Amino acid sequence: MAKIKERKNGKNGREEKVPELIGQSVPRVDAHEKVTGAAIFTDDLQFGPRLLHARILRSPHPHALIKRIDVSKASALSGVKAVVTGEDTPGYIGLYLQDRHIFCRGRARYVGDPVAGVAAVDEETAERALALIEVEYEPLPPVFDPEYGASPKAPLIHPDLGEYKVANFIFPKPETNVSNHFKIRKGDVETAWPRCAAIVERQYRIPHVQHAPIEPHVAVARWDESDRITLWASSQSPFAARNLIAKALGLSQSKIEVIAPYLGGGFGSKAGVSMEALAVVIAKAVKGRPVKLRLTREEEFYTTFVRQGLAAHFKMGCDKDGKLLAMENRYYWDAGAYTEYGVNMTRAGGYSGTGPYDVPNAKVDSLCIYTNHPVGGPMRGFGMPELHAGLEQCIDDLAHAVGMDPVEFRKLNCVREGDIIATGMTMHPIGLSECIEKAAQAIGWGHKAPPSAPASRKRRGKGIAIMWKAPAMPPNAGSSARVSLNEDGTVTVALGGQEIGQGSFTVMAQMAAAALGVPYDWVRIARPLDTQYSPYEWQTVASRLTWSMGNAVVAAARDARQQILDLVAEAWGEDPDDLDIVNGNVVSYKTEESRSLKDIVIYGLPKPNDQGWRGGPVLGRGSFMPTYVTGLDPETGQGPRAVVHYTTGAQAVEVEVDLDTGKVDILRGVSVYDVGRAINPEMVKAQMEGGLVQGISTALFERLKLKEGVVQNPSFVDYRIATSSDAPQHIEAIIVEVPQDDGPWGARGIGEHPMVPTIPAIANALYDAVGIRLDSPPFTAEKVYLAMVDAGIVK
C-alpha cells in the first residue's frame, strides 16, 4: 500500500484536520434510484387485496356546531367496512398545544375539518358512502381576520382553550382566540422615538399559501388484533407522529410503529401530524386490515397545513447617521382553526421579530390567533419569510428616509458577533456582513443595466434583503444514530431523520465516511425510516439535521472507529493513537502495517497460536441534544440563550417590469448564506437555488384565495406555482463559512433559509424599478399594473 505520510485525525493535542470528504460535492446517495423509478414512496407500497380505502367527510362550514351525525345509511352500503366519527376519538392531539380531536367532536372549525371517515373496498365506494352520511350543523359566526380575532368582540373558536394541555413556553389566553402571545421588551422604545432622525411606520399582510409538495399526503394504517399499530406514512417526522398519535389514543408509544419511505417533498406540510391519525383511527374499526388514506390534490390545498397568514405592523427609527435606535413590531398570525405548530411559529416570530439587526430598543408582540381558516402549519422558513417580507421593505424605506444606500444601511446595522440581540442572547460568530457585501457585489449594486425595451415600455431595478433564522424547536430536541459495519467492510448508518429532498442521507453518509475513514460509497443509509428500528430523531424540521443529526452520526462513527482501533491496537500490541483508519483500512503509523476493515469488523481478530478471538461485530452509537438553551421571561422575552444558533444570509435580485402589462420578470438572483461549513457545496447551492425560486413563486404568484373560509383555488391550474418558464436565467449561489462551534466541522442548516428574504428582495427591486410598494404579495401583473396606474407611472 501507499506509504502513510500524515496522520489524518488528530488526537491528544494534535491539530485536527478537516477530512477531505467534508466539502466535497459527491453525488447524492439516492440519485440513481430516483432517476430509475426504483425509489419507493409511501403510495408505491403494495398491500395486496385486503387493502381498504378511506375517504373523509369534511365540514362545509367554517364554524359550526355539529348537532347530529347519522351514519346508518353509509354503514349499510355494500362494500363499506367501517364509518367512524368524533365519537371514536375522545382524546386531544397537538404538538405544543393539544387543541384538536382527530375527528371533530361537537364543533367544526374550518371548511375541511374532518367530521367522519369511511373505510371501503375501494375509493369510489368510500366516496359514495360519504354522501350518505347525514350531519346536522348549526352555523356559528366565523372569524376570518387575525386582528378581528384578537379583539374582544370576536366569537370564541376554542371556548375550552384554558383547559388544553400546553408546553411550558407557550402562553394561551383563556376566553380569547389568542393561543400564544410572545413579547420582547428590550430597552425603552418610547424614549428612543424622539431621538430618531427618521421613522418609518408601515403595515403588511401576508396571505396564506400552500406547500404544494408534488407528492400528496398518504397514510396506510393497520391496527392488529393485539392492538399493535403499523403506520406507513409520507411523514417528515415519524417519531413525532408516533408520539402524538400514541398520546391522543392513550397508548404507549412503543405500540405504534411508523414507517416512513422516501418523501416526495414536505416543506413542513408533512411534519408533526396532519392527516395520518385519521387513517389510524379508521383502521381501528377494521382490525387486521390495512387502510389507505390518500389525499386528493384538492384536499392537499384546503385540508393540509397552510402557511400562516400574517398581519404585521412595523415602526422603526434611526439616528441621522443611520444607526437603528428602535423597533416596535406587532405580529398577528392567522393560525387557522388549530395550532399544531402555530404557537411556536409565533414564538419564533417573536424572538426573531427584529430581523437580523442590532437594535438597542425593541418591543415586539407576536400573537397567535385562531381563525376559521385552514389549519396553519410550519412552512419552509417557519414564520421568517412572512415577517421579513415587510420588515426588509421598511429597512429600505428607512435607509432612503435618512438618505442612505440600503446596502450601506444594512452593513451598518446588521447583527454581528458579540451583539446582544433582542432576547438578550450574545450573538455567536456569523458572516452576515460578508453575505451582504458579496450579494451586493454579485448583483452589481449601484449599476443599472438598460431594459430590454425602451424605458417607456420596460424598467429595471435591483433589490436586496437579508435574513436570519434559528431552528425553532423545544430546547431539548434530540438526535441519535447507529453505525454498524458489514462483512465486506461497508457501513450502515441508522438514523431517524428523513430524506425529504434536502439531501440529508447524502451528507450523513459523507459525514459517517469522513469520521470513520472509509470511502463515501461504502456507506448505506438504513431506510425506510422505521420507529421500531431507526434511532430516535425529534423531527425533520427547522433545518436542524445537518447540525443535530450530523453530530449524532459523527459521534456514532467515531465510537465505531475507536472500537476498531482499540481492538487492533490490542491485537498488534500498539497504542491506538498510532493507528488510523484510512480508505477502509486500519493502518499503523508506527509499523506501516495495514489491514482491511472487512477482516476485522464482524469476525474480530484471532489471538496468536489459536488461543481464541478478540472483538466482535462493531456497533457505534451516537446521540446529540442541545443542553444549553434557556427559558425566556414571559413578560420581556429576555434570557441568556433563546436558541441554538442563527443561520444568516442575503439575497439580491434584478427585475424587469413591463409597463404595458405589470408583469415582473426576475432576471437574475443572488443567494449568499453563511452555512458554517458546507459539507456538500453543490447541494448547499441547490438549496439556495430551489429556495429562491420557491420564494419567487410566493412573491409573484401564490395566494390561497379564501372566501368565507372556502379555498377558491384548490388546484394547480388556479393556484399557480413557479414552472420552468418562471425560473430566472441565472442564479448565483455563494457560500460563506463562519463555523458553528457545536456543528459537525462547523456546519449549520440551510434548508429553509433561501426563501426567507426573497419576497422583500423582489419588492425592493420593484420599488427601485418603478417606485411602487404593494402592501401584500403576490405581486401579480394585475396588482403591479394597477399600482402603477395609481402612482401615475402609466395611464
Where does 263-409 show beta strands of DSSP type E?
A: 291-294, 306-307, 309-318, 324-336, 361-370, 376-377
Region from 354-362, 520-528, 712-720, 773-781 binding other proteins, contact rule CB under 8 A? 712-720
Region from 257-265, 367-375, 631-639, 784-792 binding other proteins, contact rule CB under 8 A? 257-265
As beta bridge partners, residue 178 has: 369
Can you tell me the distance from the alpha carbon of 542 to that of 750, in angstroms, rounded to the nearest whole number?
Answer: 9
Out of 322, 478, 503, 757, the residue judged to bind other proteins by CB under 8 A: 503
CA proximity to 340, closest of 280, 271, 256: 271
Region from 69-77, 281-289, 498-506, 700-708 binding other proteins, contact rule CB under 8 A? 498-506
Is the Cβ of residue 28 or residue 347 nearer to other proteins in the bound state? 28
DSSP-assigned letter for residue 426:
B
Is the Cβ of residue 267 or residue 445 nearer to other proteins in the bound state? 267
727 binds other proteins (CB under 8 A): yes
725 binds other proteins (CB under 8 A): yes
Out of 16, 44, 592, 708, the residue judged to bind other proteins by CB under 8 A: 44
Out of 7, 8, 34, 558, the residue judged to bind other proteins by CB under 8 A: 34
Site map (CB under 8 A) of other proteins, residues 297-336, x = contact: x---------------------------------------
Phi, psi of 520, rounded to the nearest 5 degrees: -55, -40
Residue with grid cell 348537532, as numbered in its chain: 67
Residue 296 beta carbon to other proteins: minimum distance, rounded to whole angstroms:
7
Can you tell me the distance from the alpha carbon of 12 to that of 329, in angstroms, rounded to the nearest whole number?
Answer: 51
Can you tell me the distance from the alpha carbon of 377 to that of 764, in angstroms, rounded to the nearest whole number?
Answer: 28
Where in 281-300 is the site for other proteins (CB under 8 A)? Answer: 296-297
Can you tell me the distance from the alpha carbon of 143 to that of 156, in angstroms, rounded to the nearest whole number?
Answer: 9
Out of 267, 522, 646, 701, the residue judged to bind other proteins by CB under 8 A: 267
Site map (CB under 8 A) of other proteins, residues 730-769, x = contact: xx--------------------------------------
Where does 86-188 show beta strands of DSSP type E?
A: 92-93, 100-101, 107-108, 114-120, 134-139, 178-186
Q: Number of helices and strands (H, E) in the chain?
A: 17, 35
What does the block give as the cell for 475?
Answer: 430546547
Residue 91 beta carbon to other proteins: minimum distance, rounded to whole angstroms:
32
Residue 274 beta carbon to other proteins: minimum distance, rounded to whole angstroms:
17
Out of 282, 398, 500, 557, the residue judged to bind other proteins by CB under 8 A: 500
Degrees (nearest 5) of the Cα angle 63, 64, 65? 145
Is the Cβ of residue 230 or residue 269 nearer to other proteins in the bound state? 269
As beta bridge partners, residue 336 has: 370
Where in 609-648 is the site for other proteins (CB under 8 A)? Answer: none
Residue with grid cell 413556553, as numbered in its chain: 169
Q: Would you say 753 and 465 are in contact if contact means Cβ atoms under 8 Å apart? A: no
Region from 30-38, 429-437, 485-493, 765-773 binding other proteins, contact rule CB under 8 A? 30-38
Residue 436 beta carbon to other proteins: minimum distance, rounded to whole angstroms:
22
Is the Cβ of residue 293 or residue 516 nearer to other proteins in the bound state? 293
**701-716 as b/e: b if 16+ CB within 10 A:** bbbbebeebbbebbee
Is the Cβ of residue 567 or residue 683 nearer to other proteins in the bound state? 683
Region from 37-45, 393-401, 451-459, 778-786 binding other proteins, contact rule CB under 8 A? 37-45
Out of 682, 710, 742, 786, the residue judged to bind other proteins by CB under 8 A: 682
715 binds other proteins (CB under 8 A): yes
CA proximity to 221, closest of 281, 303, 304, 299: 281
41 binds other proteins (CB under 8 A): yes
265 binds other proteins (CB under 8 A): yes
Residue 540 beta carbon to other proteins: minimum distance, rounded to whole angstroms:
12
377 binds other proteins (CB under 8 A): no
275 binds other proteins (CB under 8 A): no
Nearest-Å Rg of the Cα atoms of the chain is 28
Residue 212 beta carbon to other proteins: minimum distance, rounded to whole angstroms:
6
Quick one: 786 exposed, middle or buried, by C-beta within 10 A (0-12, 13-18, 19+)? middle
Sheet holding 458-469, edge to edge: 458-469, 647-658, 664-674, 730-736
Region from 569-577, 587-595, 714-722, 738-746 binding other proteins, contact rule CB under 8 A? 714-722
Residue 345 beta carbon to other proteins: minimum distance, rounded to whole angstroms:
20
Is the Cβ of residue 353 or residue 501 nearer to other proteins in the bound state? 501
Q: Would you say 55 and 111 are in contact if contact means Cβ atoms under 8 Å apart? A: no
Where in 689-708 is the site for other proteins (CB under 8 A)? Answer: 689-694
Where in 194-213 is the site for other proteins (CB under 8 A)? Answer: 211-213
Residue 520 beta carbon to other proteins: minimum distance, rounded to whole angstroms:
15
Out of 215, 530, 537, 654, the residue judged to bind other proteins by CB under 8 A: 215
What does the block give as the cell for 706?
Answer: 379564501
Residue 527 beta carbon to other proteins: minimum distance, rounded to whole angstroms:
13
38 binds other proteins (CB under 8 A): yes
Can you tell me the distance from the alpha carbon of 22 to that of 24, in angstroms, rounded to the nearest whole number?
Answer: 6
250 binds other proteins (CB under 8 A): no
Where does 631-682 show beta strands of DSSP type E?
A: 647-658, 664-674
Out of 5, 35, 573, 628, the residue judged to bind other proteins by CB under 8 A: 35
What does the block give as the cell for 711?
Answer: 379555498
Can you tell me the distance from the alpha carbon of 346 to that of 658, in angstroms, rounded to the nearest whole number?
Answer: 37
Region from 473-481, 484-492, 716-724, 777-785 binding other proteins, contact rule CB under 8 A? 716-724
Can you tell me the distance from the alpha carbon of 587 to that of 596, in angstroms, rounded to the nearest whole number?
Answer: 9
46 binds other proteins (CB under 8 A): yes
CA proximity to 265, closest of 36, 34, 524: 34
713 binds other proteins (CB under 8 A): no
Residue 745 beta carbon to other proteins: minimum distance, rounded to whole angstroms:
21
Out of 4, 9, 24, 25, the residue judged to bind other proteins by CB under 8 A: 25
262 binds other proteins (CB under 8 A): yes
In three-state secondary structure terms, 180 is strand
**196-216 as b/e: b if 16+ CB within 10 A:** bebbbebebbbbbbbbbbebb
724 binds other proteins (CB under 8 A): yes
Out of 502, 543, 548, 585, the residue judged to bind other proteins by CB under 8 A: 502
Distances (CA, A) of 92 to 179, 213, 336, 465: 16, 27, 17, 41
The residue from 276, 437, 737, 752 that is catalytic is 752
Q: Is the dihedral of CA 280, 283, 288, 290 positive or negative?
A: negative
Is the Cβ of residue 212 or residue 670 nearer to other proteins in the bound state? 212
How many residues lie near other proteins (CB under 8 A)?
58
CA proximity to 162, closest of 149, 147, 172: 172
Give the list of residues 6+ apart from residue 455 with CB closer than 8 angstroms, or none: none
Can you tell me the distance from the alpha carbon of 533 to that of 531, in angstroms, rounded to the nearest whole number?
Answer: 6
Is the Cβ of residue 503 or residue 760 nearer to other proteins in the bound state? 503
Q: Is 592 a catalytic residue?
A: no
Region from 134-142, 262-270, 368-376, 622-630 binding other proteins, contact rule CB under 8 A? 262-270
Residues with catalytic function: 752
List residues near other proteins by CB under 8 A.
25, 27-28, 30-32, 34-41, 43-44, 46, 211-216, 262-267, 296-297, 500-503, 682-683, 685-686, 689-694, 715-717, 721-725, 727-731
